[in-house]
Amino acid sequence: MKKIISGNEAIALGFTDAGGVFASGYPGTPSTETLEEVARLGEVYCEWAANEKVALEAAIGASIAGGRSLATMKHVGVNVAADALLTLSYTGVNAGLILMVADDPGMHSSQNEQDSRNYARFAKVPLLDPADSQDAYDMVRAGFEISERFDTPVMLRTTTRISHAKGVVVPGEKLAPRIGDWQKEVPKYVMLPNFARQRHVVVEERMLALREFAETTPLNRVEMRDTELGIVTSGVAYQHAREAFPNASILKLGLAHPLPERKIREFAGSVRKLVVVEEMDGIFEEQIRAMGIEVAVGKDKLPLCGEINADLLRAALDGGEVAAPAPVEGLPQRPPVFCPSCAHRGLFTILSKLKVFVSGDIGCYTLGALPPMGAMHSVIDMGASISAAHGMAKVNTIAGRAQKPVAVIGDSTFFHSGMTGLLSMAFNGGDALVIIMDNRTTGMTGGQENPGTGRTLEGQPTRQVEMVPLVKALGIDNVFELNTYDLAATEAAIKKGLETPGPYVLIDRNPCILRYRIRKPAMTVDQEKCTGCRACLKVACMALGLTATGEKPKVRIDPNVCNGCGVCGQMCKFDAMHEIEGANNANL
């Protein structure tokens, strides 16, 4: 029966239908929904791992034990998992193993837009690049077959548009999960130098076999039309090329690594003008040019940054200009902000007031870098807040600067890769203040479970890791809990942490407002007392606005948005804000 599903949902269904046994991953846009859909289907065991490296390693163990396995992550997650991936290429697999990685061209929700096809070349493993939901479904089964035939992990690479766009999928035959036999094979799975040297030879021989396979597999498809223009492409770029040039001949590379050299040469020889269309890096173009094949248009006219589209392709090939989107007049600005009554708001209000250097991390709290707070000054990668703050503190000490840096990190990010940074800080006698925002969820990607939530991906109760004893076990003596809804107490706690020598940790345990509503009445403004000073607007709450009457507009509060946290009222020197008497919170 036909289904209309997203690329991520198609991969989940394909995994379930292809006899999958084990799936693990770490949430990250645009990959998150894949594992959530596996859990929703309820037929295959799946779990959130502490980070992407752990997810891939768990999938490796499942494969060795004889179960087809899947690891999911976004593109930057492969950086974390790379240590395992590059050695996995040497060991190979037992049962099939697929690494699903979702790239984010245009950086809709990412700190960079790296092209994961580079990892396939680096690790010397095959990579599949689906162009729609049907491809995504079919390539899971094809990926397992390739993995087991060639004793290799297989990368399945999507992009934001493939992961999130919906299309028609016709499911194939459903395979029952089966767990194969396994045996101890030390020369294959123990990568001591002597064994690794032997396995490297296997990797190179495997790549030669895969190149031959690439020449004949239907994953690489020629669509001959008008021979004036031939396009080599893959993934979502195929869709844009078809839309822009419906009459062009196309070589669609479903197996995007390794490339089929003979097929490419034959295709190039059959068209007058060869164009290579790919998002981000010019990986195909570089290899095709290295074959001695002339490329008429490639990255000389197509962008290396951001997404491509049909208009951009037409302009690049025809020499025209891309029409700018027509501006829409009268729309109010809507910058990204914290949710109403988010506990992060009070923290960054105080950090902004104290004018300290804040080393930030990846999560909702990264919004603290934006105006009007502007209270975050570096964000690099998951867990870097603590490590970077430690390095800064050491240089400050050497330079004689009396400035203790602050690191801000969320609970899921701390479990992911912040713990090692804090351990290193304790080990090396660091001098930074670390604030852990423990809102008991992985908030930025949609509220997924983590080791501190007490629930698994499948909704089962599990051991809830407590933050305070964990931090103490990492060697930190000064560990205190914090309530960021109390601005005066928050300011006092941060000042004490800054004044106390050595590593100092504050933990805010207020839960995510989207999961646990504050059960208080909404706030209102006494218009007689309000002076219009706008001090309360510094908390940047969506519930706050200005009246449209009077010479000096005053503040008003939308009771349909306000959750009653009271942070704005603590900013008011004129006692103009108070709870609506006898009212229940409008959002409960």
Give φ, ψ of 163 to 5 degrees. Answer: -65, -40
Buried b (16+ CB within 10 A) or exposed e, 161-173: bbbbeebebebee
Q: Judge whether 46 and 24 are in contact, CB under 8 Å.
A: yes
- The size of the chain, in residues, is 588
Buried b (16+ CB within 10 A) or exposed e, 488-523: eebbebbeebbeeeebbbbbbbbbbbeeeebebbbb
Integer-rounded Cα radius of gyration of the chain: 27
Task: Report the helix count and the strand count for the chain, using DSSP H and E.
Answer: 20, 22
| Closest residue by Cα to residue 163 from 32, 39, 329 | 32
What DSSP letter does each residue of 150-177 carry, written as one string?
A: HT--EEEEEEHHHHH-EEEE---PPBPP
Distance CA(257)–CA(538), nearest Å, equals 51
Report the 10 Å Cβ neighbour count for 409.
Answer: 30
Distance CA(432)–CA(560), nearest Å, equals 40
Q: Is 305 annotated as a binding residue?
A: no
Buried b (16+ CB within 10 A) or exposed e, 335-359: eebbbbbbbbbbbbbbbbeeebbbb
Q: DSSP assignment, residue 547?
A: -
In Å, how far are 100, 250, 379 from 239, measured between CA atoms?
21, 11, 34
Q: Is 541 annotated as a binding residue?
A: yes
| Closest residue by Cα to residue 372 from 501, 236, 540 | 540
Q: Is 533 annotated as a binding residue?
A: yes
In Å, how far are 58, 363, 364, 504 from 454, measured between CA atoms?
20, 20, 21, 26
Q: Is 364 annotated as a binding residue?
A: no
**Helix or strand (DSSP H, E) at 233:** strand 226-233
Distance CA(219)–CA(128), nearest Å, equals 8
Q: Judge whether 514 and 550 are in contact, CB under 8 Å.
A: no
What DSSP letter does each residue of 399-430 carry, written as one string?
A: HT-----EEEEEHHHIIIIIHHHHHHHHHTT-
Buried b (16+ CB within 10 A) or exposed e, 115-152: bbbebbeebbbbbbbbbbbbbbbbbbbbbbebbbebbb
Which amino acid belongs to residue 340?
Answer: P
3-state secondary structure 14-48: HHHHECCCEEEECCCCCCCHHHHHHHHHCCCEEEE
Q: Is 536 annotated as a binding residue?
A: yes
Q: Judge whether 320 and 268 are in contact, CB under 8 Å.
A: no
In Å, how far are 187, 378, 397, 426, 467 from 400, measured between CA atoms?
54, 22, 5, 21, 33
**What residue numbers does the annotated binding site for [4Fe-4S] cluster cover?**
530, 533, 536, 541, 562, 565, 568, 572
**What residue numbers does the annotated binding site cover?**
530, 533, 536, 541, 562, 565, 568, 572
